[in-house]
């Protein structure tokens, strides 16, 4: 399977696809944990640790995943507020505001959602397509979580 032009990704089966998804979740955990370690004030660092904990739960869920059940169970994609679609993602810095952190988080979840949607288009195997669509739906729920916080906290402040 070819992705992003010159980068080739080969999956030997659904188990390998799940390992790939677990790796992506670990990258998200590392990202949020790394920012939290550098973040001031402590209240923002604590929020980032909560976000990382959500990603840990997602990774653990993938690790315990019963592939046959997950593939056979349709997952509904979350409502898309499209807030991240209209914001420019800032580069993570130690002095980020909560607004900046939410912006980065929304963009990361949007990228994960798009990755899984794109991977679903690249495979011919119906079970793999279903798996990727379900993972995209999971990521859409993460994105909605951050967009709701943005809607309730950031938009109300401005």
Q: What is the CATH number of the domain that holds 32?
A: 1.20.1260.10
pLDDT attached to residue 7: 36
**DSSP assignment, residue 13?**
S
Q: Tens of pLDDT along 109-149?
A: 888 888 888 888 877 778 778 878 888 888 898 888 889 88
**DSSP assignment, residue 127?**
H
* CA R_g for the chain: 16
Rounded Cα–Cα distance for residues 22 and 33 (Å): 16
Six-digit token string for 138: 């999971």
Nearest in space to 45 (alpha carbons), one of 109, 105, 96, 106: 96
Rounded Cα–Cα distance for residues 114 and 11 (Å): 18
Nearest in space to 120 (alpha carbons), one of 80, 77, 79: 77
Distances (CA, A) of 153 to 63, 90, 137: 33, 18, 24
Query: Beta partners for 8?
Result: 2
The range of the structural domain enclosing residue 40 comes to: 2-157
pLDDT attached to residue 6: 35
Cβ atoms of 40 and 95 closer than 8 Å: yes
**What is the count of structural domains for the chain?**
1
Query: Beta partners for 3?
Result: 7
Query: Beta partners for 7?
Result: 3
Cβ atoms of 54 and 107 closer than 8 Å: no
pTM score of the predicted model: 0.67
Rounded Cα–Cα distance for residues 131 and 70 (Å): 7
pLDDT attached to residue 5: 38
Q: Tens of pLDDT along 53-83?
A: 988 988 887 888 776 676 666 767 767 666 6
């Amino acid at each position: 399977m070819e992705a992003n032009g010159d980068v080739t990704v080969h999956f030997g089966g659904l188990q390998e696809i799940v390992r790939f998804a677990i790796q992506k979740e670990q990258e998200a955990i590392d990202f949020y944990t790394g920012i939290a370690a550098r973040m001031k004030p402590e209240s923002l660092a604590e929020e980032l640790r909560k976000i990382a904990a959500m990603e840990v739960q997602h990774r653990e869920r993938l690790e315990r995943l019963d592939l046959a059940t997950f593939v056979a169970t349709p997952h509904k994609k979350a409502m898309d507020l499209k807030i991240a679609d209209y914001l420019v993602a800032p580069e993570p810095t130690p002095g980020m505001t909560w607004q900046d952190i939410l912006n980065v988080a929304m963009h990361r979840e949007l990228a994960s959602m798009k990755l899984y949607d794109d991977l679903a288009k690249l495979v011919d195997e119906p079970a793999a397509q279903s798996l990727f669509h379900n993972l995209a739906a999971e990521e859409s729920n993460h994105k909605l979580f951050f967009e709701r916080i943005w809607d309730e906290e950031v938009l109300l402040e401005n």
